[in-house]
Structure 1
C-alpha cells in the first residue's frame, strides 16, 4: 500500500496535468451517464418484493394494468350546479387524450338503466319491489316511509350495522326531495334532480358523492404507468395540464372548489419536490462546508481544493448508480448532501497533513492508509444493506457505498494534483489550534468529567427507547405542504374512507361475491367493489328475477291518479319526523355520520320548502 501511495504522490507532483485531464474526461463520461438517471419518488419500492402482497400486486398490474388512479374532487353547495361542474370537468379532462385513458364520474348509466333492478342486492330487492308497486307520488312517499321505519327506526340495530347504507339513503332522499321541489315549482320543466333522486332511491347512488352530499368524486385512469420510470416526465406534464384546466373551471364557477389527489397526483408532487429538494440540499450543504473550510483553514484556496474532488467523486457515484441501478429513489435522491457530509472528511485529513512541514510529499504516507480503511469500512457498512428485503434500502446501501469509494478515490488522485499544480504554498502553513490542545490537556487530568457526561447521556437511552415511535403510514413521510396530500386528507374526511384500497383476485364470479361478503364484515372496510356488482352469482340473479318480474307485471297494471294534497303533505311531514327520529337514534348510538347527514338535511330546509310548494302550487 505504501508503494501505491508513493506512486500517486510521484505522478501527481510530476504530471499533475495528466492526472487532472484523465480525471476531467472520466468525470464528463460519468456526468453523461448521471444525466440519464430517473427519479422514482414513490414509496412502492419500500415493499419487499418477496412479500406475498408485493407478488400479488405485481400480478394485478400484469393482468389488469391497475396502478391506481388520478382522483378529482368537485365541491359546490347547490346540487344541480355540483353535477353541472362535475360534468364539465369530466368532459374537459377527457379532451386531454394524451394523458387520459378514461374518466369515471358515476355508475355506467345505460347499463344501470337496462339491468339496474337485477343488480340490486338480494337483501334490498324486496323493499324496492314494494316501493315500485305504485306510480303515484303520495303512495310512493307513503311506502318509502314504511320502509324507512321498518328498516331503521323500528329496528335500531340495523342503523348501527348499516351505517353507510343509512347515510346513502339520507343522501338519496335529500336529492329526491330537492329535485321534486324544483320539478313542482318549475311546472314540471326542471326534472334533472328529480330524475336523479328517483334513480338513487331505487337503484342506489348515481354519482360517487361525499357523505355531506356536497362533493362528487371523479376517477381518471391515465395512459401511463407509474412503474415505467420513463413515463414520469409525461405524468408530470399531464397532471400539470389537468391542474391548470381545473383552476380555469374553478374560476368560472363561484363557490366551487376543485382538488386532485390519488397516486398519480402524489407521485407528481413527490417527483417535482424531490428534484427541487435534491438540488437545494446539495447546494446548502456545499455552501456550509465551504464556509467552514474558510473559517477553519483560513486559506481561500482550501475550499476550492476540497470542493473539486468532492464534486467529481459525487458525479462518479451518480454515473455508477446509472450503470448498476438506473434510478434514484426517495432516499437516494439526497445522495449529494449525504456524500458531501461523508466525503469532505477525506479532503480535511489530506489538507491538514499537507500544511505540515513535509507538504504534499508526505501526505498520503501519513493519512492514506487511514483514508482508505475508513472509506472501505464505511462503504462495507452501507453495502450490508443489500441483504435486506427492501429495494429502497438495498439501493441506498449500494449508492452510498459506491459514493464513499468514489469520493476517497477522487480525493487521493485529484487533490494532490491540484495542490502540486496550484497550491504549493500550502506546505508548512501553521494551522495549530492551541485552544483544543489546552482542552485536551485539561480533560486528560480530569477524566471523571467526560465519564460523567457520557454516563448522563447513556442514562437518557431508556427514556428515548420508551417514547420512540414507528410510523406505519407512508403518506406521513411525504413532504409538508403538498396539495395532493392535503386533498387526500380532505377526501378521507368527506367520504369517510381512504383513497387507498386493498386488491384481491378471485377465480370466478361466485368467489368474487363470497369474498366481497367476507371483506365487508371486517372492521375498517368501507365498501367492496368488483365484478360481483355487475355480474351477481346465478343464484342471486334467479332470486332477484322473481321480484323484477313482479315489478314488471305491476307496472303494466299501474294507474296514475293526481296526488291527494293532504295525504301528500301528511307523508312529507312524516318523512321529516322519520329523519329527525333517525338523527336522535344516531346521536344516542354514537353514529356521527348518520347524525351529521340527518342534521344537515333538516337544516337545509328542503322538506319545509317542499311542504310550502305543495300547499301553494
Structure 2
C-alpha cells in the first residue's frame, strides 16, 4: 500500500505546477457541484421510520391543520371603541402582493358565505339530519308549535333585521335547516371566538385572529423563508403604523420550520468556525508558526469538498442536519495530518515515513469510517446522510493527508531547541504512574456503572424544534386566548379511495361521539356528520322519505298556510318550503361539498396520488391519552 503513495509523492514532486493546477481544478469542480446539492432543512428528517411510521409520514404529509400561520392582532389602544378590523384590513391589503405564497386567508366571513352555507344545507337537508333531529322535527310539527313559529316569523319580518331573515324564513319557516347547520359546529376547532365586523375575534373583543394557509408545505423552508421574511417586514411596518393601538404577532409550524432551518444553518456555521478558530490558535501556539496549521487543515477541507461531490451523484437531496457533524469531523480528520507531520519531523526519509505510517493511518480511518457507516442502517434519513457524509470524509481525509502533508511540510534537519510549552507538558506527563489519579478514575467508572441506568431521556418529540423567543410569546398569547395551540390528538382515517376513507371516518366519528358521551375525551372536531360516504347518504335520504310521508307533508303545509293567514301571509309564502319537502334528494360528491367556501373541507380531507385522508381533532385528558390512542388504532383503520 505504501508503494502507491511513494510513487504519487515522486510523481507530484516532478510535476509541481501541473499538480497545483490539477488540485485547484478539482477544488473548483467540487465547489460547483456542492453548490448544486439540494439540502433538506426539515427537522423531522431525524425521526426514525418503520413500516408504521412510513404510513404515518404519508398521512401527516397530507395533514393541513398544522400548516397554518396564525396572525394575532392584539388591542393595545386605550380607546374604548377602537376597531381591530382597521388593522386587519390594512394587513390584508399589505399581503396582497404575496398571493403567490398564500393559498387562502381565513378569519374574515362575508355575508354571502353565510347565505351560501344556509342555502347548501337547506337544499340538501336530508343529508344533514339524524335520528335525534327527526324527534325534534316531530315536536316542531305539533299544531301549537307551528302556530308559535309562524307568530315568531311575523315578529322577525316586521323588525329592523327583516332584510337578513326574510330569505331564511321564506325557505324554511319551521327553522328545520338550523338543525342541519348545527352539524357544522363539529368543524369548529375552537368555541372561544365570535364574529365582529365580519372578523373572528375573542369573546372579550381584544384579539382578532387570521389564519394564513400557505401554498407550500411547512417543511418547504426554502420557499417559505422568503415568504416569512416578507411577513415579518409587514408586521414591523404595521406595528410601527398602529403603535400603541394594536400589535401583530405570528405563530404556526411554517414560521417555526423556517426558524429551525435558519438556526440549523447558523449553528453549522458557528460550530465549524469556532472549532477551526480554536484549533488554529492551539496549533499556531504549539508549532509557533502560521503555515504548519494551514497544512494540517488542507486535507480536511479537500476531503469535505470531495465528499460533497460524491454525495451529489449518490443522493438526490441531503439533510442539512448531516452537516452539523462538521465540527466533530474537523477534530477527527486533522489527527491524520498531525500523525504524518509528527512522524515526518523525526524521520526525514520519505520512503521510510510512508512504510511506517501508511497502513496505520488507512486502517485507523477505515475503522472510524465503518463506525459512521453503521448509521446507514438506521431508519432516520438525517442520520443516514450524516453517517454517509462522515464516513466518506474520514476515509478521504486520511488519503489526502498522505498525499498533501509530505509535499508541503519539510522539517528542518536541525531543529533549534525550544522551551516546552504547557501542551508538551500535558502530553509528556506519566499519567499511568499517578496512583491517586488511577484510584479516582476507577471510582468514577464504578459509580457510572451504577448510575447510568437512572439517566432519563426526553420523550417529547416537540422539543426537537427550536422556537425563537418572539414565537414563544405568541404561543403563550394563543394559549391564554384558546386551546387552539394545546396539544391535540389527530385521528386520521385513510383509504385508497374517497368512499373508503369517508366510510372509515363515519365509523370513527360514531366512536368519537360515544367516547365523548362516556367522558373519555373532552371534545372533538370531525367531518363525520357533515361529509358522508355514498352509502350513509343513501341511508339518510331513505330516512327522510320514511319520515315525510304524503299525509305529514300535506298536514304541515296546511297548518302553515292556516296560521299564516292570521298574520297576513299569502298562500304562496310557503311554496318554496313545500318544494323542498317534495324534492327528490340525491347523493353529493366531494366536489359538491368543496364548493361551499365556509365549510373549509380541504382542512379535513386531503388527497395525493390516489391516497385519501380524513382528519379529526380530539382533545383528551393527558392521563387518558395513551389508552385512547391504542383504542383508536386497535378498533379502526385510522392513525392517532
TM-score (norm 1): 0.67
Q: What value does the CA root-mean-square deviation take over the aligned residues? A: 4.5
Which of 518, 525, 536 is residue 528 of structure 1 equivalent to? 525
2:212 maps to 220
1:569 maps to none
* Conserved? CA contact 1:104–1:219, under 8 Å: yes
Residues of 2 paired with 1:39 and 1:530: CA distance?
37
1:472 maps to 460
* Conserved? CA contact 2:186–2:526, under 8 Å: no
Displacement, 1:310?
A: 1.9
Unmatched 5+ residue regions in structure 1? 141-161, 176-191, 197-205, 561-590, 592-617
**1:250 equivalenced with 2:239 (yes/no):** yes
2:228 maps to 239
Residues of 1 paired with 2:93 and 2:510: CA distance?
35
Mean Cα displacement is larger for which, 489-498 or 280-289? 489-498
Displacement, 1:450?
A: 1.7
**1:93 equivalenced with 2:95 (yes/no):** yes
* Conserved? CA contact 2:103–2:215, under 8 Å: yes
Q: How many residue pairs are counted as aligned between the two chains?
A: 497
Displacement, 1:220?
A: 2.7
Displacement, 1:378?
A: 0.7
| Distance change in 2, residues 1:490/1:398 (3 Å) | farther
1:203 maps to none
| Distance change in 2, residues 1:99/1:434 (3 Å) | closer
**1:113 equivalenced with 2:100 (yes/no):** no
Describe the SS at the equivalent of 2:249: strand
Structure number with the bigger relative contact order (C-alpha 8 A, sep ≥ 6) is: 1
Which of 504, 508, 518 is residue 511 of structure 2 equivalent to? 518
Describe the SS at the equivalent of 2:356: helix
Aligned pairs for 1:313-392 (under 5 A) are 313-358=303-348, 362-392=352-382
Residues of 1 paired with 2:50 and 2:74: CA distance?
46
Which of 440, 450, 456 is residue 462 of structure 1 equivalent to? 450
Please give the per-residue CA displacement for 1:484-519, whole angstroms capped at 9, x wherever unaligned.
Answer: 465345435533144776343262545433323434
2:6 maps to 6
* Conserved? CA contact 1:317–1:402, under 8 Å: yes
Which of 429, 453, 456 is residue 441 of structure 2 equivalent to? 453
Which of 270, 274, 278 is residue 268 of structure 2 equivalent to? 278
| Distance change in 2, residues 1:370/1:121 (3 Å) | farther
Please give the per-residue CA displacement for 1:47-91, whole angstroms capped at 9, x wherever unaligned.
Answer: 445433433543675xx6959423122233489834454454345
2:38 maps to 38
* Conserved? CA contact 2:40–2:317, under 8 Å: yes
The structure whose residues are more often helix, as a share, is: 1
Displacement, 1:290?
A: 0.4
Residues of 1 paired with 2:240 and 2:415: CA distance?
70
Which of 463, 482, 502 is residue 495 of structure 1 equivalent to? 482
1:505 maps to 494
Displacement, 1:347?
A: 1.5
Displacement, 1:308?
A: 2.1
2:279 maps to 289
Displacement, 1:410?
A: 1.9
* Conserved? CA contact 1:76–1:215, under 8 Å: yes
2:51 maps to 51
* Conserved? CA contact 1:90–1:105, under 8 Å: no
Displacement, 1:96?
A: 1.7
Residues of 2 paired with 1:299 and 1:215: CA distance?
63
Residues of 1 paired with 2:129 and 2:97: CA distance?
34
Residues of 2 paired with 1:366 and 1:432: CA distance?
28
2:25 maps to 25
* Conserved? CA contact 2:188–2:525, under 8 Å: no
1:71 maps to 69
| Distance change in 2, residues 1:480/1:236 (3 Å) | closer
